[in-house]
Amino acid sequence: MECLVLKDLPKLLSFHQQNGTIHLPNIQIMRARNIPSMKFFSVGIVITPLLRSIHVTFARKLWLGNLNETLSYISNNPGKFHFAKLFGFPS
């Protein structure tokens, strides 16, 4: 799998809830939209060597070094880059 799309999942808290390491060696593209409850991707370590950004719109990307940090930032800063509308937060 090279692309992962998380869209319109308002109750999703995380993608992987097991402690430990999850390896996604082929993921190159991730798109995230309307996932307001997601605070992190995984409880454990996430290894995505080819992933360099999360697409939040067609033209906007964000990357803070790893998947968990980036999703946490998006969740904790809903006003940045107009994320409120993108991630389903109330205005």
pLDDT tens digits, one per residue of 20-40? 899 999 999 999 888 888 888
Predicted TM-score (pTM) of the model is 0.70
Contact in structure between 54 and 31 (CB atoms under 8 Å): yes
Please give the Cα distance from 40 to 22 (Å, whole number).
Answer: 13
Residue ranges per domain, the chain?
A: 3-86
- Report the mean per-residue pLDDT for the chain: 82
d(CA 22, CA 66) in angstroms, rounded, equals 13
Provide the 8-state DSSP code for 16: B
Residue (of 64, 1, 69, 70) closest to 29 by Cα position: 1
Instruction: Find the helix or strand (DSSP H, E) in which 62 lies.
Output: strand 61-62
What's the pLDDT band for 80 if we cut at 50, 70, 90? low
Query: How sure is the predictor about 59, in pLDDT bands with cuts at 50, 70 and 90?
Result: low
